[in-house]
Chain A
């Protein structure tokens, strides 16, 4: 394993360098760079098709980037450099190990239907970390309590509402004790009345010092929970900074246009 650069206390936890991703001839990410410090919450904003979900999915190699590097605590994700200086993809098992430290919460929850709520949560600790089952269950019940669903531990996912399923998915993602949490539009598939409970859990996580990268359309969440927001358009970052600055004070015309349209939507205007 590479020694990598030394990591000091306020050094970034996650670094993205000039990331590019193409699907065939279509370039979705055109050189994106990003740094996430420990305990920081970063919001990725942008219209659909702007590349924000692709960026997030590249972070844990669900999509393999075409170019650029991702470093978690100085260690490159998904690739290694050989003694001869050649860069090559990591073996599947080493990539799997890296993924465990950067859990993901999906738009469509993706709970495993054939396992109970608790079964979903302990799967990572038991199968990936090799934790004993009773220890994992104790941890799982704690995490379910944290998302307010301890009493649902023995239910199957299909019996839960969308909001409850997403909270279970968050508990499952926390169970491998990741260094960073990736959220891919976690409330976009929910009925409006269920959005609040999920955002509340995420807000609690943010306050407790969890490092998070969140792709979201929820402007109020971005404003309240994110230390920094990044606006993507056409696969490039067009504006970044503190939410208040980016959302209201930015002089960037594309940022102004995006947030104006968002405000119009929230006010019940044309979609």
Chain B
């Protein structure tokens, strides 16, 4: 193994890669944000007592969850315009597909969190006269969120990494530009290493912060 690493091309094309990184950040911001919104919308329907509300949400969750995310992105890009007549730019197609994919997982995580909240704490809210929405915002919601922080963080990490699926539909994010650059410079290993390092640098602070919050919360509220 005597491959000669040459990272100089990365400094040479840093403008291109920085631009691609910026696109990835936008992709992540919109798709994770929107994914959480999708989860927050789907979860209450998934938990609804009425079947008319619960069944459609369950169906969406089960169907989307079983599609490989790459297939979902590519399908949205090619099939949706034919079915709906609505052609979105590749960037937004990727945002919506990744958001939908993450959203169904967020929904299941939120549902698990809400259902894990002690019924007595909810009844305590009701018995001081809180309306159902107030109970949700002041009791169930915060406690559910504290409970699901670890899986929530994991799902955020997955959603961030899924942004590279945009490369399959020519969204100029970091993997797409990286692949173009490696073909152009014949330096795929250096470029891939950079892409890998980029995600580690982005994700590690996030998981470390979440871990610290989790420990803090546990010590403060739950540990005797």
Contacts and interface: CB of A to CB of B under 8 A. Distances in A.
Interface of A: 60, 62, 92-93, 96-104, 106, 108, 110-114, 123-124, 127-129, 156, 158, 169, 172-173, 175-176, 182
Given A114-B142, A114-B143, A156-B220, A127 B127 contact: no
Interface string B62-99: 00000000000000000000000000000000000000
A110 B118 contact: yes
B205 interface: no
B184 interface: no
B126 to A, nearest CB: 6
Contacts of B215: none
Given A62-B126, A99-B127, A110-B121, A92 B221 contact: no
Nearest to B124: A110
Contacts of A111: 124
Contacts of A124: 128-130
Sorted from nearest, which 6 A-B pairs have the closest CB atoms? A100-B129, A124-B128, A110-B124, A104-B127, A110-B120, A128-B129
B50 interface: no
Interface residues of B, number: 24
A124 B128 CA distance: 6
Interface string B102-136: 00000000000000001011011111111110100
Interface of B: 118, 120-121, 123-132, 134, 138-139, 142-143, 146, 220-224
A123 B120 contact: no
6 contacts: A60-B126, A103-B127, A106-B127, A110-B124, A127-B138, A176-B129
Given A124-B129, A128-B128, A158-B221, A112 B121 contact: yes
Contacts of A98: 129
- For A96, A103, A173, the residue with the greatest tally of chain B CB atoms inside 10 Å of its CB is A96
B124 A127 contact: no
Contacts of B130: 96, 124, 127-128
B126 A99 contact: yes
B128 A103 contact: yes
Given A106-B120, A108-B120, A114-B143, A175 B128 contact: yes
- For B120, B128, B131, B223, the residue with the greatest tally of chain A CB atoms inside 10 Å of its CB is B128
Contact of A99 (B129, B143, B221): B129
Given A96-B126, A106-B127, A172-B128, 17 more contacts: A97-B129, A98-B129, A100-B129, A104-B127, A106-B124, A112-B139, A114-B142, A123-B125, A123-B138, A124-B130, A127-B128, A127-B134, A158-B221, A158-B222, A169-B124, A176-B128, A176-B129
B215 to A, nearest CB: 15
B143 A92 contact: no
A62 B138 CA distance: 19
Contacts of A128: 128-130, 134
A54 B138 CA distance: 26
A113 B221 contact: yes
Contact of B127 (A60, A108, A156): A60
Contact of B124 (A93, A112, A158, A176): A112
B42 to A, nearest CB: 22
A173 B128 contact: yes
Contact of B223 (A104, A127, A158, A169): A158
